[in-house]
Amino acid sequence: MRSAPASIPTPPVRPSDWGRLFADVPLGPSARPRALPRSTEVVPATVPWRGGRAVRLENVLAETRTRAFVVLHRGRLVREWYDATTTPTTRLSSWSVAKSMVALVAAQAIDEGRLRLDSRVVDVLPELRVTGPRDGDRSYNQVTVRDLMDMTSGIDAPESYSGDPTDPASLLGILRGTYVLMATPDLGGFARSHRTMVARPGSRGEYISFNTQLLSMVVARALGTDFVSAFRERLWKPARAQSRATWNLDRAAGAGGIAKGFCCLNATARDFARLGLLIEDAGTDASPVTRRWAERIFTPRRHRVSDWPYSTSFWHEPGGAPGRPSQDASAIGIFGQYIYVNRRTDTVIVKLSDYGIEQDEALTLRAMRSIANSWRRG
């Protein structure tokens, strides 16, 4: 990478608080926030956990170091839980949950004819075109918006989490892998220096955070604005958020900073739930998400990613079949961040945590599905 890393946050800092350590752009609340009326319904007292055992929900939340947990059913607030350090107005980092938001903005650009799924990255960002071996591999020029959205680009970029950012003893570990992408003050330079390939575009699924960073840059160029402004107008305002949020940049906005599109939307649990409602309400006047895109989100693509069904930057519980529509889909971030949407039971669940690295994700999704499916029996 050509650009030197910016200063790395000094551990111990909880991952859910990293958003306050980088330059950002504010996202203001709505003048008329979407109401989340209280429901008289209740969630199950227990959820399935390890070994199929039924465990009290509060115990699971504590074990997985949850900071905020919100359950909506049919747009009504059924359950809200916070740890001792968190309140309904605490702004928490989403990590890769933000990837799903980037895909939703890209979907709008496609609906408007500003992009196509088969638009090539280098046709939108011609400065990244590979013209010779010193630039990278010529097959990079064939990477499309579809490849970025579905994690099938084949681009060679770091994707590892060899250190725990909450552990001072592993500080050197966070200087490698994905944390370099997090720390660079020049994401444009990072893009220019990562144009080599490990696979033919579209040939296999591989989770690479840089795919979504590149997608956010493509979307911004296609829409003729910066990405955060596009997100603000196209998702944040329609969600009618209640509290102030931020989106982190690679450097200060006044110095030409651009959004860390692969992560770094920082908001309250309630407002993440309002974003989830845009997916639940897809195809109605209450949401800019079209029915077409909802179908794509809830239908896993041909190539799995990390052995999980995947589509449009949303994850599906392991076991789902490619091409077969699912009842639910999830935006997932490292350290235990989730926006879970179950369209069969009109359920949205948000869980924001500080729980290891990609730890117990399948178990967590199974627990969320059990909560959502409890209303099918009601």
| Residue 303 covered by a domain | yes
| Residue 143 covered by a domain | no
| Residue 187 covered by a domain | no
State residue 153 phi and psi, 5-degree precision: -70, -35
With a cut of 50, say whether residue 297 has pLDDT above it: yes
| Residue 177 covered by a domain | no
Q: How far apart are the first and last CA of the chain?
A: 55
Measured CA to CA in angstroms, residue 288 lies from 35, 90, 181, 238, 283 at distances of 18, 27, 30, 7, 8
Q: What is the pLDDT of residues 100-119, one digit of tens each?
A: 999 999 999 999 999 999 99
Residue identified by tokens 């579905």 is: 150
Q: What is the pLDDT of residues 9-22, one digit of tens each?
A: 444 688 999 999 99
| Residue 248 covered by a domain | yes
- The one-letter amino acid code at 377 reads R
CATH of the domain at 297: 3.40.710.10
Q: How confident is the model at residue 339 (pLDDT cuts 50, 70, 90)?
A: very high
Write the DSSP symbol of residue 12: S
| Residue 285 covered by a domain | yes
Number of domains composing the chain: 1
Domain that holds residue 267: 15-120+210-376
Write the DSSP symbol of residue 11: S
Estimate the crossing angle of helix 97-111 against helix 269-280, to 10 degrees: 40
State residue 116 phi and psi, 5-degree precision: -130, 160
Write the DSSP symbol of residue 352: E
Nearest-angstrom CA–CA distance, 139 and 83: 48
With a cut of 90, say whether residue 169 has pLDDT above it: no
| Residue 179 covered by a domain | no
Whether the Cβ atoms of residue 299 and residue 310 lie closer than 8 Å to each other: no
State residue 106 phi and psi, 5-degree precision: -60, -40
Using a cut of 0.85, tell me whether the model's pTM lies above it: yes
| Residue 139 covered by a domain | no
